[in-house]
Amino acid sequence: RCTAKWMAEHPGDVRFVSGAIGPTSKTLSVSPSVENPAFRGCTYDEIEKAYYAQAGALYDGGVDLFLVETIFDTLNAKAAIFALERFFEDKGMRIPVFISGTIVDKSGRTLSGQTNEAFWLSIEQAKPFAVGLNCALGASDMKPYVENLSKCADCYVFAYPNAGLPNAMGGYDQKDHEMAAEVRPFAEEGLVNALGGCCGSRPEHIAAIVKMSKDMAPRKKHSIDPLMRLSGLEPMTYVQSEENPRATFLNIGERCNVAGSMLYKKAIVDGDYDKAHAIALKQVGQKAHILDINMDDGLIEGIPAMTKFVNLLVSDPEVSRVPFMIDSSKFAIVEAGLKCCQGKAIVNSISLKEGEDAFRHHAKIVKRHGAAVVVMAFDEEGQAANFDEKVRICCRAFKILVEDVGFAPYDIIFDPNILTIGTGLAEHNNYAVDFIRATREIKRLCPGCKISGGVSNIAFGFRGNDAVRRGFHSAFLHHACKAGMDMGIVNAQHSESDVYEKLDKELLGFIEDVLLNRCENSTERMLEYAATIEPKSKPTAVKKLGEAADAGGGGPKAASWRDLPVEKRLAHALVKGIDEFAVRDTEEARTCGLYPEPLQVIEGPLMDGMNVVGDLFGAGKMFLPQVIKSARVMKKAVGHLLPYIEEAKNNAGGGGESDNAGVIIMATVKGDVHDIGKNIVGVVLGCNNFKIIDLGVMTPWEKILDAAVEHKADIIGLSGLITPSLDEMVTVAKRMEERKLKLPLLIGGATTSKMHTAVKLVTQYSGPVVHVLDASRSVPVAQTLLDKTRNVGFIEDVREDYAEMREEFMAGLEDRRYLTIAEARKGAPQTDWSAAENQPVKPKLIGTKTYIDFPIEDVLDYIDWNPFFQTWQLRGRYPNRGYPKIFNDDTVGEEAKKLYDEAQVMLKGIVEKKLIQLKGIVGIWPANAVGDDIQLYTDEGRQEVLATFHGLRQQAEKDDKKEPYYCISDFIAPKESGVPDYLGAFANASFGLEPIVAQYKADGDDYSYIMAEALADRLAEAFAEKLHQIVRQELWGYSPNEDLSTDDLLKVKYQGIRPAPGYPSQPDHTEKEAMWKLMKAEEETGMQLTESMAMLPAAAVSGLYFAGKPSLYFAVGKITADQVEEYAKRKGQDLAVVQKWLEPMLNYEP
């Protein structure tokens, strides 16, 4: 109405109304969950239906055109295009469509990762009236991307940038004349047909742009070369080389096809999508240009599997940079895959098998999704086998696609069926020749089309003989590409490596006799020859049977590190962690005459080797597992020399000790039993010639300080895992100050932090205090602290750094606002306990159930390997973070795989020999919330209180006023609600580790004992995961039909939580006492609590079970004095005691 009124007032001046269709607040290509990249906050169908409804309303309102704008995710734009095409078809009309993307920064990509050329290729099938860019950038930053789009697009091009970039307050300062000047080059250089303004622009900006551009010529539309263009995150334009068509052949990776890889199929059937993802990533790394994805198997639910896997791949920029081929014989699965691809994909495949109507229908849907299409040479009569049938069917399909459906010829890919030869059946002998001839003829009769095929079919009869089969593939591609074949589903690695010109000439002769059907007995001759060669040899380096075995019988002996001088052999063994020859080589060094004293062997070749290890580790060229293995070699060598050293000392009348880099006392503090991290740091420091005095675990401060004096220590190192250890470290620091010690104090462990060290420890001890993040940092820190030329400056820098952190921390406490506990309770979450979905399920078990010697085999599948690699400080870089993707990492992947394989060997021994025993207990009781506490009752009468678990509530003010302030009691129905609820508890551990570790330590095998500790931890955690599943499905039974993969379990996709006392949701470790008493945990399982509430054995897990849907994990955070005082009263404990246990959580100094 407004536009019509304006036009009436300005006769002859035409204006149009565009119906803006925005990007929505949702994204179809990006997961809202960091933990689950395959998850989407909404579906393609939901977005498409919303766009359809919006288009209808806009059209009814009288718009002249549709503007799909501010597109930061191309898949959203494709859903809008699909909806508009459906709308036009339903209405029997069409109005112009403009499409505008958004480049989010100077990377030149959309938010979902596409370049602007890839964006255009993904939406060009819509044949928009105009395409352009808007928002996010100012004109000067946007110009190169508009220029690129102008070159790519054959339609009109527009731009409406922001009025510059936003200022610090989010506003726009660019004036109208400034914006007009900035967009002037767009018009002057003929880049656009229309200009406008987005954020920050006002009517005066538009008026200035109109004035500036009114006399300038618009951009001239141009045609683009008719080439096949595909896209993932990046564009791919295909042009076949006339001189060397094999060089431009497109490798379509076959390993994500259930028919092309048993490993991939097993991963999908098992629900191991991370493993399947690793296979995809590997193919891209092996130069697959396109990724084929197929889920057609009776054991696989195709639609959900295709959806989940493509979503997962789209979230990985390394994989999704290449186009996808969505492959299925079931069109519904094809559609599911297309609805996840933001790029221009290929559909594999459609055919005339069901007749022309079905063929047209499928082709229209594919085109509407903007994909290219593979057409199989099938029709109503069956599969095309010979030359004539292949040509006839493909020409018929081409005519329908081009003339009826409107497909561009270059988006049509024919698969004329690569059929197996060498079968012994005469009618099969000419299959390869027919395909090659048909390829040439189809491309002549259907100009612009492409040819593809499944190359592995050609020599299917020779599977098991790699040399023959791979040779057939290479030779076939050589001849087929010369005839015009453009692409094929291949093993990408073999396609690149098995070059035709390098094939063994004798092998090639036999292959081409079969391939080109050159003689009647070619198959028999091929079979006879194949029987004479090593089946696992390469087609470019064929070996005859027995050749490999006989190779050692003659000729020169290959060079070996065992041929090196003894000093070099020792260095090699230390770097490589090979202990097989440690004693033999050490003895040779001792007796060779170069080292008169046995101590000199240590100070000479052994320390030289360890210095190399230290240098490589410091440079990031060796990793922790390798260093630990080096230490094992060193210990064996030193262990062999010790008797000779003692003998030499006695002969010399006793005396001195060997030189070392310094003496370090190491201990896990009082009350804490965790020592894996400490042990690793000790080994690494030992490898760098520090003398380590390891006092073990649960070490009181007196023992630590006495040992420092006794051993004339240069450094003290403290470790701890649980939060009470932080307070014990403060005690050690205070006692060091009282004794006037000035030794450097190193702090480490999972619960420690640089901030805690700066705020709590440095203030108690005047000597140097340094927080050490991990083993790799311990060596340079220790070396610098003991280097008199560098330590003063280093210590001053650390103190200044910690002083700044302390000031920031204190300022943060002052700035942060906290609610009173009364105010926080008013903000507690409001749960409707009468609602059906919140009704508690009555457990099948009331009371406890103990598990003694639970089968380890039953928990192996529940192991989370990510913490295992973190223990060994192996961290992959994106996109190879986490298990099993870490194996693909260029830096740590090889060592991670080696470590994992060695862990499997040890794990197998633990299982077979029953070296570790899993014990656990679970319990469930009637319960209700009473304020911030949870009361457990003896029976369903709920009159007699059996135990009480106390909760702490969040108090730090939240930015979002609607966000609740949580306490664990919020997840149990309040007593006053009258709703009967329940609470569970559990504790479990790995028993039997001590003798295993003791034996490895006696053998000097640091690597194995640390491995055993790490595996015991993993087994305990896996047992906890298994127990929780048993509780959900059986003992409580609130999720009896739960069917989750291991990956989903580890990502906590089940209903319910199991928070542990001492951790974020309830940071008070003393709540474990109530659990132990309630379950009789020590009597039933042997698990104990130390005075610091650490669990024994150390490889142990415990917590509470909450079953309700409202339950979730949260962090209490800092709390104020009013809550602490009330909490102490509720618990019946002295305030000072409570403050001691909650000290890290207090927002005040007690």
Q: Which residues belong to the active site?
A: 672, 674, 725
Quote the CA–CA distance of 196 and 1145 in Å, as a whole number: 54
* Sheet containing strand 690-694, strands side by side: 690-694, 662-668, 715-719, 745-748, 769-771
Give the β-pairing of 378-379 and 324-327. unpaired
Angle between helices 74-91 and 116-123 (to 10 degrees): 20
Longest alpha-carbon distance in the chain: 118
B/e letters for 515-529, b = 16+ CB within 10 Å, e = fewer, are: bbbeeeebbeebbeb
Residue pair 117/152 in contact (Cβ under 8 Å)? The answer is: yes
* Residue whose tokens read 């005095």: 693
Give the β-pairing of 1095-1096 and 1088-1089. antiparallel
Quote the CA–CA distance of 586 and 601 in Å, as a whole number: 8
Phi-psi region of 321 (alpha: psi -120 to 50; beta: other; left: phi over 0): alpha
* Residue whose tokens read 């370090």: 664
**Token code pair at residue 324:** 């996808």
Rg (CA), the chain: 36
Quote the CA–CA distance of 762 and 754 in Å, as a whole number: 11
* Residue among 1013, 1041, 1010, 972 at smallest CA distance from 1099: 1013
> CB within 8 A of 628, min separation 6: which ones?
577, 680, 683, 684, 1006, 1007, 1010
Residue pair 590/637 in contact (Cβ under 8 Å)? The answer is: no
Quote the CA–CA distance of 299 and 613 in Å, as a whole number: 49
Quote the CA–CA distance of 766 and 799 in Å, as a whole number: 10
Single-letter amino acid, residue 414: F
* Residue among 1038, 737, 681 at smallest CA distance from 872: 681
Residue pair 625/870 in contact (Cβ under 8 Å)? The answer is: no
Residue pair 123/371 in contact (Cβ under 8 Å)? The answer is: no
* Residue among 391, 387, 392, 399 at smallest CA distance from 363: 399
Quote the CA–CA distance of 33 and 35 in Å, as a whole number: 5
Per DSSP, the three-state class of 253 is strand
Question: Number of C-alpha atoms within 13 angstroms, CB side, residue 749?
Answer: 28
Burial (0-12, 13-18, 19+ Cβ within 10 Å), 549:
exposed
